Structure 1
Amino acid sequence: MNKLDTKTRSQILHMLCEGHSIRAITRVMGMSKNTIAKLLSDAGAVCAEYQDQALRNLTSKRIQVDEIWSFTYAKQKNVKMAKAAPEGAGDTWTWTAIDADTKLVMSWLVGGRDSEYAMAFMDDLSRRLANRVQLTSDGHRAYLEAVEGTFGADIDYAMLIKIYGTSPNSAKGRYSPAECTGARKGRIEGNPDIKHVSTSFAERQNLTMRMHMRRFTRLTNGFSKKVEAHANAVALHFMYYNFVRIHASLRMTPAMAAGVTDKLWEIGDIVALIEAKEAEKPRARGPYTKRDMPSH
């Protein structure tokens, strides 16, 4: 594969971050699908590594967590009938934690929706915080054990349990959602401020993910074939969301609002991370030449 120049890489990544599919980019840019997939893989890896190091010692006050559904290779009910389904095929859940004030997405995890993943997600979240916080989750029971096992009593934790009923429009179409008829706020640990018990920002972030990542869009064929590709797309999205895209209400990026960075990033800065990572790779071993010999 010929090495893409910085401008071309920036253009491709920008289109990926704004919700274009890989196949659409191949038609616009006139290059192979594998070239774009390789760039996405490289970008996802460096974005995940950079944010893992940068998003530490955060002084958040209120955090909301949620999970968003997607699928890899095939929907769960079709995995058994699928040919050569890879490991991780089927339902794929992305756990997210967002700061209610700065809108920074500080932690995420791609995988299942069971208690094991809940524990891993909470453990990662706790390692990024510098102080006690108020945490709000939905009524998913896996959070109960995970939050207690990770934070113990050192947290103000509440659940927002939504109550759903039959929508008048549910008979009109197969995909009509159930109607939320109410919500119940419940204190689980510590002393959470009830007026701030909400998952609204986390749920709005779910919409942002579906709008900016083709593989999250409902009722389309834009899904991931491998869970690794899914995770790379998520890492790139949050790098763009946290560091590059100006939040409409904040008038700055979430990373700037949280004090993680003092500058407005550009897509070119993400490309610079990729190029720096490439420069670290050791040269392939081969026979010595005269220039390889040590000088004295």
Structure 2
Amino acid sequence: MNTLNMNERCRIVAALVEGNSFRSIERMTGIHRDTIMRLMVRVGNGCARLMDEQMRNLRCERLQLDELWAFVGMKQKRASQLAERGEFGDAYTFVALDADTKLVPCFHVGRRTWTDTAIFIDDLRSRILNRPQITTDAFAAYYGSIRRAFNSEVDYAQLFKVFASETNAGRGRYSPPEMVRSEKEVLIGDPDPEHVSTSFVERQNLSVRMECRRFTRLTNAFSKKLANLKASVALHYAHYNFVRIHRTLRMTPAMAAGVTDRLWSVSELIEATGSEEQIAA
């Protein structure tokens, strides 16, 4: 039975984190797409465990939180018509970003609900040692979850973005609405108004859409299974934290945050996830 060697696995993982689809990688490497899928899921699940182990006892002064939309199987409108929706429909990736080191300490893939918000905030709280300043959008579920998880030992503000009320006339069907202004509201503690922002995390969301194929809009690259989406997201953030050099920092976010003292290679990431065992080609 043919198996993938480390060089082949590195080529596949490197292509995946650059936004290539399974079929394009199949054409470039000659490796069957089912094998590529199995490797992605195995390495992605290992990356989730790696992130859980490594992102502990952190000191993040300014955190920006956001949600990134995708869907599984079908859009929400169609999924809501099913007798049993299951895992189909909207899937949101909650993500936290350290504005100083650009580190992603944690993420959570689920629904945009109060329950999933609480799970995400509780996970974030378990990783932070200091009293951080947190900025989120106006999603109502954040306030109660942050107050409860941090026991008010946090400086928290929400950023409201007000968009034009017109129906986007003349801007194109897929053009974003025009933002008129933004408003800041302090909810807990005494956050610095100059650092009440979600700009960095929103810019990182663009990187996700560029480099994680399942988030590319208006294509057939969406996830057909929730487990595959979770594995893909974990692979992206682990590679982002440990392997990809941030152009502004000139080091990886994990190095900037003191999580590691060296630049990781793709092969080291694969080995760290426990995914070095042979995979049938």
Separation in structure 2 between the aligned mates of residue 188 and residue 241 of structure 1, nearest angstrom:
31
**What's the % identity of the aligned pairs?**
46
DSSP-derived class of the 2:260 partner: coil
1:231 match:
230
CA contact (8 A) 1:22 1:33 kept: yes
1:143 match:
142
Q: Deviations over 1:45-77 (max 9, x none)?
A: 111101101000001100000001011111111
Q: What is the deviation of 1:187?
A: 0.5
Q: What is the deviation of 1:175?
A: 1.2
Q: Which amino acid aligns with 2:152?
A: A
1:63 match:
63
Q: Deviations over 1:91-137 (max 9, x none)?
A: 01000000000000011000100100110000000000011100000
Q: What is the deviation of 1:79?
A: 2.1
Separation in structure 2 between the aligned mates of residue 220 and residue 276 of structure 1, nearest angstrom:
30
Is 1:194 the counterpart of 2:193? The answer is yes
Q: What is the deviation of 1:2?
A: 3.2
DSSP-derived class of the 1:46 partner: helix
State TM-score, norm by structure 2: 0.94
DSSP-derived class of the 2:124 partner: helix
Farther off after superposition, 248-257 or 18-27: 18-27
CA contact (8 A) 1:126 1:151 kept: yes
Q: What is the deviation of 1:172?
A: 4.3
State TM-score, norm by structure 1: 0.90
Q: What is the deviation of 1:224?
A: 0.4
Separation in structure 2 between the aligned mates of residue 9 and residue 245 of structure 1, nearest angstrom:
17
Q: What is the deviation of 1:170?
A: 3.2
Separation in structure 2 between the aligned mates of residue 215 and residue 276 of structure 1, nearest angstrom:
22
Q: What is the deviation of 1:208?
A: 0.6
CA contact (8 A) 2:6 2:276 kept: no
CA contact (8 A) 1:94 1:111 kept: yes
Farther off after superposition, 142-151 or 49-58: 142-151
Any gaps of 5 or more consecutive residues in structure 2? none
Q: Deviations over 1:17-42 (max 9, x none)?
A: 00001111111111211100000011
1:177 match:
176
2:26 match:
26
DSSP-derived class of the 1:222 partner: coil
Q: Which amino acid aligns with 2:36?
A: I
DSSP-derived class of the 2:146 partner: helix
DSSP-derived class of the 1:11 partner: helix
DSSP-derived class of the 2:237 partner: helix
Q: Which amino acid aligns with 2:23?
A: R
2:110 match:
111
CA contact (8 A) 1:215 1:224 kept: yes
1:92 match:
91
Residue 277 and residue 123 in structure 1: after superposition, are their counterparts in 2 closer, same or farther (change >3 A)?
Answer: farther
Any gaps of 5 or more consecutive residues in structure 1? 280-296
Q: What is the deviation of 1:81?
A: 6.2
Q: Which amino acid aligns with 2:30?
A: G
Residue 141 and residue 174 in structure 1: after superposition, are their counterparts in 2 closer, same or farther (change >3 A)?
Answer: same
CA contact (8 A) 1:15 1:25 kept: yes
1:26-65 alignment runs, 5 A limit: 26-65=26-65
DSSP-derived class of the 1:250 partner: coil
Q: What is the deviation of 1:275?
A: 5.0
Is 1:129 the counterpart of 2:128? The answer is yes
- The alignment's C-alpha RMSD in Å is 1.9
Separation in structure 2 between the aligned mates of residue 188 and residue 225 of structure 1, nearest angstrom:
39
Q: What is the deviation of 1:178?
A: 1.0
Give the structure, 1 or 2, with the largest relative contact order (CA under 8 Å, sep 6 or more).
Answer: 2
